[in-house]
Structure 1
Amino acid sequence: MKISVIIPVYNAENYISQAVQSALQFEEVFEVILVEDKSPDNALIVCQRLMEEHDRVKLYQHPDKQNHGAGASRNLGIQNATGDFIAFLDADDYYLPNRFDAEKELFQNPDVEGVYGAIGVHYYSEKAKEQYYKIFEDRLTTVYKKHNPQDVFPGLLNMKGSFGLFSLDGLTIRKSALSKVGQFFKTQLRLHQDTEFIFRLSFYLRLYSGLLNTAVAVRGVHENNRITQVDVGKIKPSSTRIMLWREVNNWAQHENLISNDIKKHIERTLRSYQIAEASVPRKWGMITKYLFTDFRSIKSGLYNINFRKYLL
């Protein structure tokens, strides 16, 4: 195997060295591609040093040297990758020694176009753990049991009960299969480009489960994670998820191979977020209105808002 590991780098000077070293431990890793995205810290200097120290580390920036986001940075990495397989890693995360154990076996079958595994969580500080433990606890992010490839797409859409999920850190793709996907990461999405990309991958490619009961990579949680700030409400989650599901819906409606049942399910999911977004400004008025007359409705309404807030 010749694996290209793609790492978008933004504001990660304290973490990027660990991420790179965790990828270089594998002989199968042919190259580590760093895409520095105009970080406000000293990440570029750290990346330059890593490139000088390791022959397998390559460093890129966007042609205009400006910030373009994680999706565009991953796209640039894919375009410059020369390995036969693509793996991803966030700059503040890291691989574990078993990262490619299942992949080395499964990819011997040419029908396997992608393999996904479980990831764990690491808190970089007690403050980060105090803030975000209620979101991640010490759980694995994983798919709960092995599934046939054709069941992965509807499973990720929550159409098959308790399915679970996987992240880019635990995903490896056969590079030649990416031609089936069309556009790589949707750069118009501010967040959740990875979720939208995984949805399309799971529809077009034959994705197989690797290690599901033990972590193959670790999500690093600290105070400045953009996605954790969304999860705890520091960044408004509903609008970014509306953008995600609107993009998924637009794609699905133009894909003739997607069944009408799935298209309707995606439309309903988008609509649920739109309803939740519209209801938030009225929440406190609702509480005032029914405080003494219908407390049960208040309780139910707040529950529904919070439930939608923490959906994917």
Structure 2
Amino acid sequence: MKVSVIIPVYNAEAYISKAVESALQCKEVIEVLLIEDHSPDNALEVCRKLAEKDDRIKLFQHSDKGNHGAGASRNLGIENAQGEFIAFLDADDYYLSNRFDREKELFTNPEIDGVYGALGVEYYSESAKEEYFSVFGDRLMTIYKECPPEEVFPGLIYLRGSFGLFSINTLTLRKASLLKKMNTFFKDLRIHEDSEFFFRLSYYLNLYSGTLDTAIAMRGVHNENRITEVEIKKIKPCTTKILLWKEIRNWSEEEVGMAEDIKLHIKRMHQSFEIANAPLLKKGRLIIQYLISDYLLILSGLYNINFRKLSTQLF
């Protein structure tokens, strides 16, 4: 099993060395691709020194040397990866030694396109733990039970939190499957780009569960985590969710093979976040507008009653 590990690097001078070392400890890893994304700190120089020490470490930047976000950086890594398999790692997180134990067994089956597993959490400082323990606790980020690949996409769409969550750090993909079945990799979202990717990935690819009850990688929590700021509402989370579900909705409406009830549910999710983010008076107007525009759907019985319940809970 030959794995290319892709690491977007932004403002991670203090953490990138640990991330790279954790990837290289896995004998399945043949290369680590560092995609430096015009970081404001000294990360570029750290990456250069790492690449000089080990020819398995390869440093890339965007053609204009600019900042393009994690999604575009991962896309650049996918384009340059030489391994049969692709794995991802955030620059402030790290792999555990069991990272590919289950994966190398599962991928002997050529029908398996991707494998996902469980992510643990480590607090890099006492202040980070005090501030963020209420958000992450000491829980695993994982899908809660094994399920066949055809149930992964519906689980993400309909069950959401009760189904569990993917982590980009525990995802391994067969590169040939990704190139063949996905015409677009990560899209241009600055937040939740991995979530949007997971929705489409689970629709097109056969994803299997790996190790779900034990961490195979660790999320490093510190005071400058980009996603942590969203989760503790330093950045308004509903705004970012509107953009996420707008992307998913646009994709679903263009996907001719998708069932109409799934498209309708995705539309409802997008509308729900629009309502939740609107001022009080506009909330009512939006609900009335959506009910009127979908009057025939309501009569047909296709209207998602869960949307009505959710809408009333947002006031």
CA drift of 1:131 comes to 1.2
2:236 maps to what in 1?
Answer: 236
Q: CA deviation at 1:163?
A: 1.1
8 Å CA contact 1:116–1:208 kept in 2: the answer is yes
The Cα shift of 1:264 comes to 1.1
Please give the alpha-carbon distance, in whole angstroms, between the structure 2 residues aligned to 1:50 and 1:133: 32
Alignment of 1:251-270 (within 5 A): 251-270=251-270
2:98 matched to which residue of 1? 98
**Contact 1:3–1:87 (8 Å) recurs in 2:** yes
Determine the structure 2 residue equivalent to 1:66.
Answer: 66
Residue-pair matches, total: 288
What TM-score comes out, normalization by structure 1 length?
0.89
1:36-115 matches, within 5 Å, as 36-115=36-115
Q: Deviations over 1:154-210 (max 9, x none)?
A: 1111348821111110100000011211111002x1211100011111000000000
SS at match of 1:166: coil
**Normalization by structure 2: what TM-score?**
0.88
CA distance in 2, matches of 1:235, 1:36: 24
Q: CA RMSD in A?
A: 1.9
SS at match of 1:243: helix
- Tell me, in whole angstroms, the C-alpha distance in 1 between the residues paired with 2:8 and 2:116: 20
Q: 1:251 is paired with a residue of what secondary structure?
A: helix
Look up the match of 2:219.
Answer: 219
Among the aligned pairs, what percent are the same residue?
A: 63
Verify the 8 A CA contact 1:155 1:161 in the aligned structure 2: no
* Separation of aligned partners in 2, 1:36 and 1:19: 14
1:158 match: secondary structure: helix
Residues 78, 133 of structure 1: alpha-carbon distance in 2 compared, 3 angstrom cutoff: same
Counterpart code for 1:184: F
Distance 1:305 1:229, change over 3 A: farther
Q: What is the aligned partner in structure 1 of residue 187 from structure 2?
A: 186
* Distance in 1 (alpha carbons) for counterparts of 2:32 and 2:117: 20
Query: Could you say which residue in structure 1 is the equivalent of 2:303?
Result: none
CA distances 1:71-112 after superposition (whole Å, capped 9, x unpaired): 110000000001000000000000001100110100000000
- Change beyond 3 A, Cα 1:281–1:13: farther
On the 8 A contact 1:37/1:69 being kept in 2, the answer is yes
In 1, distance between residues paired with 2:125 and 2:262? 42
Once residues 282 and 264 of structure 1 are traced to their aligned partners in structure 2, the CA distance between those partners, rounded to angstroms, is 22
Unaligned runs of 5+ in 1: 284-300, 307-312
Distance 1:197 1:46 in 2: 29
Structure 2 gap ranges (5+): 284-309
